[in-house]
Structure 1
Amino acid sequence: MKRILTLLLCLSFAGAALGQQTQKPVLHGKNWMAITGKPLAATAGSMTFQKGGNAVDAACAMLAATCTMWDVLSWGGETQALIYNPKTKKVIAINAMGVAPTGATAAFFKGKGYSFPPEYGPLAATTPGTPGGLLYMLANYGTLSLEQVLAPAMEMASGYPIEAQTANSFEREKERLKQWPYSKKVFLPHLGQKREAPEAGEIFVQKDLLATLTKMVETEKAALKKGKSRKEAIMAAYDRFYTGDIAKEFVRGCQEQGGLITMQDLAKWKPIEEEPLSVNYKGIEVYKLKQWTQGPVMLQALNILENFDLKSMGHNSPKYIHTLYQTMNLTYADRDFYYGDSYFAPQEPIKGLLSKEYAKQRASLIQFDKNNPNIGPGDPYPFEAKGLKNPYLKLLKERGYEMDTTKRNFAPTHDIRNGSSKVDYEKRLWLGTTTVEAADKEGWVVSITPSGGWNPAVIAGNTGVGMSQRMQSFVLDPELNPFNVVEPGKRPRVTLTPSMALKDGKPFLSFAVQGGDTQDQNLLQFFLNVADFGMNVQQASEAPNFNTNQLWLSLGGTKTDDRKPKPGQILLHDSTPEEVRAQLKKMGYILSFDDRTSGPINAIYFDWKHGSFWGGSSNHGEDYGIGW
Structure 2
Amino acid sequence: MWTHKSRLSWAALLLVSLVTRGQLTEKPPVHGNHWMAVTGKPLAAEAGAQIFQKGGNAIDAACAMLGAVCTMWDVLCWGGETQALIYNPKTGKVIAIDALGFAPTGATPAFFKSKGYNFPPEYGPLAAVTPGTPGGLCYMLAEYGTMSLKEVLAPAMEMAKGYAIEAQTANSFEAQKRRLKEWPYSKALFLTHPGEARETPEAGEVFVQKDLLETLTRMVEAEQDALKHKKTRKEAIYAAYDRFYKGDIAREFVRGCQEQGGLITLEDMAAWKPMEEEPLHVNYRGVEVYKLQQWTQGPAMLQALNILENFDLKGMGYNSSRYIHTVCQAMNLAFADRDFYYGDPYFSTGQPMKGLLSKEYAKERAKLINFDHVAADIQPGDPYPFEGRVNPFTDLLKERATFGKPSMRGGSGASGAMNETAMVDEELYHDRLWRGTTSIEAADKDGWVISVTPSGGWTPACIAGHTGVGMSQRMQSFVLDSIIDPFNVVAPHKRPRVTLTPSLALRDGKPYLCFSVQGGDTQDQNLLQFFLDMAEFGMTVQEATEAPNINSDQLWLSLGGERLEDRRPRPGHILLGNVTPPYVRKELRQMGYIPTYGDRTSGPINAIFLDAKHGTIWGGSSNNGEDYGIGW
TM-score normalised over the length of structure 2 = 0.96
Q: Name the SS for the 1:102 alignment partner.
A: coil
- 1:405 equivalent in structure 2: none
Matched AA of 1:513: V
Residues 16 and 62 of structure 1: CA distance in aligned 2, closer, same or farther (over 3 Å):
same
Greater shift, 417-426 or 443-452, is seen at 417-426
**Structure 1 match to 2:458:** 454
Which is worse superposed, 286-295 or 581-590? 581-590
Which residue, 41, 44, 68 being the options, matches 2:44? 41
Q: Check whether the contact 1:358–1:380 (CA below 8 A) recurs between aligned residues.
A: yes
Count of residues paired in the alignment: 619
Matches within 5 A, 1:450-489: 450-489=454-493
Check conservation: 1:375, 1:410, Cα contact below 8 A.
no
* CA deviation after TM superposition for structure 1 residue 418, in Å: 2.6
* Equivalent residues in 2 for 1:14-413, closer than 5 Å: 14-19=16-21, 20-385=23-388, 388-400=389-401
CA displacement 1:72-121 (0-9 Å, x = unmatched) = 00000000000000000000000000000000000000000000000000
**1:400 aligns to what SS in structure 2?**
helix
Q: Which residue of 2 aligns with 1:406?
A: none
What is the DSSP-based 3-state SS (H/G/I as helix, E as strand, rest coil) of the residue aligned with 1:575?
A: coil
Q: Which amino acid aligns with 1:246?
A: I
Structure 2 SS opposite 1:454: coil
In structure 2, the residue corresponding to 1:270 is in which secondary structure?
Answer: coil
State the shift of 1:609 in Å: 1.2
1:346 positional shift: 4.4
Match of 2:595 among 591, 595, 605: 591
Q: Give the CA deviation at 1:145.
A: 0.5
1: CA distance, partners of 2:476 / 2:13: 44
Partner of residue 5, structure 1? 7
Distance 1:611 1:540 in 2: 21
Does 2:496 match 1:519?
no
CA contact (8 A) 2:8 2:317 kept: no
Superposed CA RMSD: 1.5
In structure 1, distance between residues paired with 2:418 and 2:384: 24
1:558 corresponds to 2:562:
yes
- Encode CA deviations 1:482-511: one digit per residue, 9 max, x unaligned: 000000000000000000000000000000
Shift of 1:4: 2.7
Unaligned 5+ runs, structure 1: 403-408
Once residues 202 and 425 of structure 2 are traced to their aligned partners in structure 1, the CA distance between those partners, rounded to angstroms, is: 31
Shift of 1:416: 7.4
Aligned to 2:86, the other structure's residue is in SS state strand
Amino acid at match of 1:390: N
Are the counterparts in 1 of residues 433 and 520 from structure 2 also a CA contact under 8 Å?
Answer: yes
1:424 CA drift (Å): 1.1
Distance 2:6 2:467 in 1: 66
Q: Is the 8 A contact 1:96 1:272 kept in 2?
A: yes
* Partner SS state of residue 335, structure 2: helix
**Structure 2 counterpart of 1:18, one-letter code:** T
**CA deviation map 1:422-474 (0-9, x unaligned):** 11110100100000000000110010000000000000000000000000000
Q: CA deviation at 1:193?
A: 1.0
Q: How does 1:539-550 map to 2 (within 5 A)?
A: 539-550=543-554
* Separation of aligned partners in 1, 2:385 and 2:14: 42
Q: CA deviation at 1:417?
A: 4.1
The answer (yes or no) to whether the contact 2:123–2:473 under 8 Å persists in 1 is yes
Map 1:600-619 to 2 at 5 A: 600-619=604-623
Structure 2: runs of 5+ lacking an equivalent: 404-411
Aligned AA for 1:195? R
Read off the aligned partner of 2:370 and give its amino acid letter.
Answer: Q
Structure 1 residue 5 displacement after superposition: 2.7
| Superposition deviation, residue 6 in structure 1 | 3.5
Deviation at 1:65, TM superposition (A): 0.1
| Partner of residue 622 from structure 1, selected from 616, 619, 626 | 626
Letter in 2 for 1:272: M
* TM-score (ref. length: structure 1): 0.97
Query: For residues 6 and 600 of structure 1, what CA distance do their matches in structure 2 show?
Result: 29
Q: Distance in 2 between matches of 1:417 and 1:260?
A: 33
Q: CA deviation at 1:513?
A: 0.2
SS at match of 2:187: helix
- Tell me if structure 2 keeps the 8 A contact 1:36–1:625: yes
Residue deviations 1:376-426 (CA, integer Å, cap 9, x gap): 1000000122xx211111111112269xxxxxx999xx9874351211110
Q: Secondary structure at the match of 1:450?
A: coil
